[in-house]
Each structure stands twice: as structure tokens, then as C-alpha cells.
Structure 1
Amino acid sequence: MPPTTLRWLPALCIALVSVPALAEDVQVAVAANFTGPMKRIAADFEKDTGHKAVLTFGATGKFYAQISNGAPFEVFLAADDETPARLEKEGAAVNGSRFTYATGKLVLWSAQPGMVDAQGEVLKKGDFKKIAIAAPKLAPYGAAAIEAMTKLGLQAALEPKLVQGESIGQAFSFVSTGNAELGFIALSQVYEGGKIKSGSAWMVPESLHSPIRQDAVLLAKGKDSKAAVQLMAFLKTDKARAVIRSFGYEP
């Protein structure tokens, strides 16, 4: 081997060793309704930056309690805009980092084809035993479901039939497994290729509930993390926005 090549070997070895060291893991708390799109976004993020987003999915209210008690999350993608704002106010999140990454849509869905009609009249007929929702105190989609039923004048009639899941993911599980004939879930859970991929559904008019604005925020534990800061920026890219839109959200 020529002497000039030998002189370069130490520097080359140092460079090769340091490349993986530049990549970091970022701990991300993600609202359960955003499971599908966030898995795809995380894969794209790792491919483009080398950083790995370690994802934990669950109910927004439960994440709030965990973050307030010191959970090691660095980025939080909530199912509402109020919880991230509260964390900012309480000093658990970086001021000015919060933004709306998606606007969610509520849908009444059944795994059974033909069970839910296009106008949601099935709710008035009441020809079912159980209807699933996410716990309204923990999950904004559950709160939106209660709001919609109340505006329709059906809350009292449907109350005895309600089964609550801790998160929108659990509410979806109740319906998909047949433990409830229908339920209020996030459109993203049953939407693919521009249409409902299975069962039957009614798109709940947005006039029946408050907008489901979903905010992301950089948490205090992630303020010095390059991976956390880059993930927040990546969520605003055209690539991430295309994924978000493909699941039925409005970016």
C-alpha cells in the first residue's frame, strides 16, 4: 500500500466511526389516532436524517399526566391543541415550538358492511347493543363524540349503550373485534387510498363538534436534542404532509 494511503487511514477510520454517533434516538409520545401516519413518517425521518424516532402511542390525557410527572418524552404529538398549550404554560414544553400538524376527522364506523348508513340514521334507530367511544376525559376524539351525540339530541338515549376505551385505539379495537357493533373513531384508522377500506361509515359533520386540531410540541427534555428539533421540522415538510393527507387528515 502506498505511503500516502497509509497516512489517510487513521482519519478515514475516525470518520467512519463518528458517522453513526451523529444519529440519535428521540422519544416521541403520539396520540393513538395518529399511529398509522406516524409510523410512516418515522420511517421516512430515519431514512432522510439517520435519527430514529422511538414511538409510544396512547391517550393524550394519559400522556399529559406522564409528562407532568417526568416521563422521558422529548416530542409530543397530541390529539388536541389544549394539552400542548397547557404543557407550554407549565414549563414542561418549549415556548413557541407548538404548531398544528393535523386536523382530525371523526367518523361513525362499523366493521359490518351496511351497518352504518351514509346519514348516520343508525344512531336514531338504535338497532344495536353497544357503541364504542374513547374516554372523553382522556381522548379528544371521545370528547368530540360526546359533543356530536349531544348536538344530535341522542346523548341520553345512547348513554346506556356506550363502552369506553382508554384511547381511540382501544375504541377502534372494540368495534373491529365485534365487542361493539359500531363506534366513533378517527377517520385515519379506517381510511386508505382515498376511501374507507372496510365496513361501513358515516363522516360526522364538523358542525357537530369542535375542530379536532392536533398540535405537536417540543418538550423541555428535548430542547437540546438535535433529533427532536429535526423531527419537529420534518413534520412540516411536504413529504410528511403528504403522508398526513393520505390518512384523511388535513395537514
Structure 2
Amino acid sequence: MAIKRITTLFCLLLLLAQTQAESLHIAVTASFRPVLDELAIEFEKETGIALTVSSASTGTLYQQSLHGAPFDVFLSADKQRPRALQEKLKLSEESVFIYAKGELVFVSTDPVLKKLEDILQSKQRVIIANAKVAPFGVAAEQVLVSINYQGEKVLANNVMQAQQYLNLRLAPTGIVSASVALNLPSTPIPQSLYELVEQAGVVLNDTPVSQTFVKYLTSPKVLELYQKYGYSMADSTH
């Protein structure tokens, strides 16, 4: 009887280990969350690997990762923080990879303010993500400097919150990532006004399951999904 109980316990532990091995905890920057939500469905169908997703600004997720949050992979909206984590956590050079390039759009719910340059003559505020924690906020600031905007800004913690502010009409215009502006009236912003947002990820827990996810994320099969949300794929994975 004792042997039978031990065998049953062993089988349960083995099943638990297999279940845990077939799941991943992904930390994703807010701007890429809409893409990952769609991608996760097809990824699980194809691989059987379930994704648990935590989303916030890049700066917030960086701090959480640095202080031991149980993420397997961190998808940032910049290149600097994944590389910083790789160095501080003493991860391998190969743990860092480029997965996407993001673009900005000008959003306006005011029919009078149709073009980006129209905000220069307006007394209305402009919504952008906070450059201190969000790379798309840095890019938005570059745009405003490029056109010499001197007006007031409404700062959101990340681009998803910027989208919420736009929906709440806290200001009629905003400069946000194309990925969060699908259901808002928007126009592309010339890339000459800002540095294209090159987005990198870092594998924090290097397992075969994590590598399967990275290969899927950077494979041509997800190109159409990326384009739907205003992203292009990276030219290389390192």
C-alpha cells in the first residue's frame, strides 16, 4: 500500500512538473499587449504552451524583473533595458533579441485638428506616454521637439493609458503607438520626426519552452499580425 501511495504521489508530481513546463509568464510592454493577446491564442493552439501575461510600462516591468519577478521572458519597448537586465542579472549574450519595430501615429478626436501641425495653433493639450518610463513617450517627445510644440502635455504612465485618456476625452489629440490606436481616428507621423522604436526582449528563464516562444515571436508566420497593429518585424534577432 505504501509503495502504491508513493507511486501515485510521484505521478502527480511528474504531472505537475509537466504542466508547469508547458506554461510561460511573459512580461510585455503596454504598447505590445494587443499584439501578444492575439498571438497567445494561436501560439497555444500550435504548441500547447499557455501564456500568462503581465503588462505595464517598460520602466515598471524592468524594475520588477530586476527585483526578481517570476517572468520567463520580458518584451520591452526599447533595446536598453533588456540589455541592462542581461548585464545586471548575468544572463547570456544570446538572451537578448530584437522582435519588432514600432511606429507612432497622431490621434485626433477633434475634426478641426486633422494634422499633427494643427496642434501648433491650438490651445488644446496633447496626450503622450511619460518619457521617463515609456519608450514611446520618448519618441513622442522627439516629435514635439521636432515641430517646436510649446503647449501643454497630458502624461500617461504608458501608451495603453494614453489610449484610455483619449477615449475619456481628457484631451482631443495624442501621439501614441500605432498598436493602441486601431479604433481611434489617426494618421501616421513621418519617421523623420523621431527615432523608430526598436523593441527588444530578454529571456530571463532560459528553457526549451522559452526558446519555442522566442522563435515563434520572431518567425515570418506572425508578420501579418504585426502589420495589423502598425509594427514591422526586426531585421535580425540579435
Q: TM-score, normalised on structure 1?
A: 0.81
Matched-pair contact (CA < 8 Å) for 1:110–1:176: no
RMSD value, Cα: 2.1
Pick one of 180, 184, 201 that aligns with 2:175: 184
Does the CA-based 8 Å contact 2:127-2:154 persist in structure 1? yes
1:126 paired with 2:122, answer yes
| Deviation of the 1:18 alpha carbon | 6.0
SS of match in other structure, 1:76: strand
Would you say the 8 A contact 1:94–1:217 is kept in 2? no
The separation in 2 between residues aligned to 1:135 and 1:126, in whole angstroms, is 21
2:28–2:55 CA contact under 8 A, matched in 1: yes
Q: Which residue of 2 aligns with 1:110?
A: 108
Q: Give unpaired runs (5+ residues) of structure 1.
A: 1-13, 192-196
Deviation at 1:96, TM superposition (A): 1.2
User: Which of 173, 190, 197 in structure 2 is aligned with 1:205?
Assistant: 190
Q: Which amino acid aligns with 1:141?
A: F
> Does the 8 Å CA contact 2:66/2:89 hold for their aligned counterparts?
no
Q: Could you tell me which residue of structure 2 aligns to residue 24 of structure 1?
A: 22
How many residues in Structure 1 have an aligned counterpart in Structure 2?
A: 220
Q: Is the 8 A contact 2:101 2:196 kept in 1?
A: yes
Distance of 1:127 and 1:239 partners within structure 2: 45
1:218 pairs with 2:171 = no
Give the match's secondary structure for 1:27.
strand
Change (3 A) 1:94 1:244: farther
Partner Cα distance (2:142, 2:99) in 1: 23
Query: What SS does the corresponding residue of 1:239 show, helix, strand or coil?
Result: helix
Cα-to-partner distance string for 1:127-164 (whole Å, 9 max, x where unaligned): 42x2111110100011111111112122xx22xx2111
SS at match of 1:45: helix
Cα deviation 1:155-178 (Å, max 9, x = unaligned): xx22xx211111111111101111
8 A Cα contact 2:105 2:187, kept in partner: yes
Is 1:99–1:217's contact at 8 Å kept on the other side of the alignment?
yes
Gap runs ≥5 in structure 2: 1-10, 234-238
2:162 aligns to what? 171
1:162 aligns to what? 153
Structure 1 residue 150 corresponds to structure 2 residue 136: no
2: CA distance between counterparts of 1:104 and 1:116? 24
Supply the AA of the counterpart residue of 1:126: S
Q: Write the distance in 2 (CA, Å) between the matches of 1:135 and 1:29.
A: 19
Check whether the contact 2:159–2:180 (CA below 8 A) recurs between aligned residues.
Answer: no
Q: Aligned to 2:81, what secondary structure does the other structure show? A: helix
1:150 alignment partner AA: V
Partner of 2:84 in structure 1?
86
Please list every run of at least 4 consecutive aligned residues from structure 1 whose deviation after the TM superposition is greater than 3 angstroms. Answer: 17-23
